[in-house]
Structure 1
Amino acid sequence: MKLIVGLGNPGAKYAGTRHNAGFSVIDELAERHNIKVDTCKHKALIGKGVINGEKVILAMPQTFMNLSGESVRAIMDFYKLTVDDLIVVYDDIDLDVGKIRIREKGSAGGHNGMKNIILHSGSQDFVRVRVGVGKKPEHMDLADHVLSRFSREDLPFMRESCGKACDALEVILSDGAVAAMNRYNG
């Protein structure tokens, strides 16, 4: 069983913001595979299903971004999962809108949600899919940037990157992270 966690902040106020790119990917993946992500458990909205023959738990932590690790740890403990079973999808300001990047492990890279997951999981050796949300404009505070919505010009690229991230997750589940990296990291 694999745990696919999309990072974001709960509530209508944050829907569609750059920081909720992980939630957007989980929403699309769930829709593609008819998985209802509507059960409140372990400080998250979760749904269970099967994608490409692999049992999955799709999760959207409801702890707010900076405490995402609490939810991830609770889910991993309850289902007796290890970091080998964990895939995290999150926003990345160092990637252009429309781009994705897959890694098998790595640091948090300054992302507070990832820092908290690394802290609570005790490892940085888990697969992650980073979704580009674009660099922060010089005149803008980082928090304001990641909590902003996409421009009309960027929205089609964001939808494209959500689709690519879902495609990549499907490849990770069927063929492994390396195959997905070879196909989608450009």
Structure 2
Amino acid sequence: MKLIVGLGNPGRKYEQTRHNVGFMAAAKFAALISASPSKERFEGEWAEGNHGGEKFAMLCPWTYMNASGQSVRKAVDFFKLAPEEIVVICDDLNLPCGRLRLRPSGSAGGQKGLADIVRHLGTESFPRLRIGIDRPPEGWQAVDYVLGKFNKDEKETIEAATTRAAYAAIEWGILGVTPAMTKFNAPAE
């Protein structure tokens, strides 16, 4: 089984915010693989499906971004998953809006949800797919920016980016991290 983890914050207050691009991409992923109807499991939204001969699961932790690791750990322990069988999709302030960056491992880079998953799993050696949301404008606090909603121009870019991220997760699950990196780390055309 390959586990796709979309990071974000639960509840209407956080819908369509920059910090929730992981949830957005995971929802698109579940739709693309015709996953089972989602249900509550492992303190999050859970769905399963098969695609391209691979069994997939999607998890969107409801533990809030900064405590994402406890939800992920429960799923990993239950299914006895190796770190390389998980990909975490999250926002990234250091990438231009809409840019994707898939990596097989690495530091949390200031992303608190990733940092909590690293802490709970005890390793940085799991793939992560970052979706660029840009740096905050001059005078903005990072927390206000990531919890803010996309402006009109950004919405279209993020819609396309979260769709590309969903396809990247499928490619990662079927072909592996290197082919997916080669195809999806380049700027969108």
TM-score under structure 2 length normalisation:
0.95
Cα distance in 2 for residues equivalent to 1:26 and 1:91: 12
Q: Which amino acid aligns with 1:160?
A: A
Q: Which amino acid aligns with 1:27?
A: A
Please list the CA deviations of residues 141-182 of structure 1 after superposition, one character each: whole Å capped at 9, or x if unmatched: 111000001000111100111111112112111211000111
Cα distance in 2 for residues equivalent to 1:52 and 1:38: 20
The alignment's C-alpha RMSD in Å is 1.0
Mapping for residues 115-134 of structure 1, pairs under 5 Å? 115-134=115-134
TM-score under structure 1 length normalisation:
0.97
Identity of aligned residues (%): 37
Q: 1:13 to 1:3 in 2, by over 3 A?
A: same
Q: Secondary structure at the match of 2:153?
A: coil
Runs of 4 or more, structure 1, over 2 Å off, are: none
Match of 1:91 in 2: 91
Q: CA deviation at 1:38?
A: 2.2
Q: CA deviation at 1:37?
A: 5.2
Aligned residues: 186
5+ unaligned residues in a row in structure 2: which ranges? none
Cα distance in 2 for residues equivalent to 1:56 and 1:13: 29
Please list the CA deviations of residues 72-109 of structure 1 after superposition, one character each: whole Å capped at 9, or x if unmatched: 00011111112121110000011111210000000000
5+ unaligned residues in a row in structure 1: which ranges? none
Q: Secondary structure at the match of 2:152?
A: coil
Q: CA deviation at 1:36?
A: 3.8
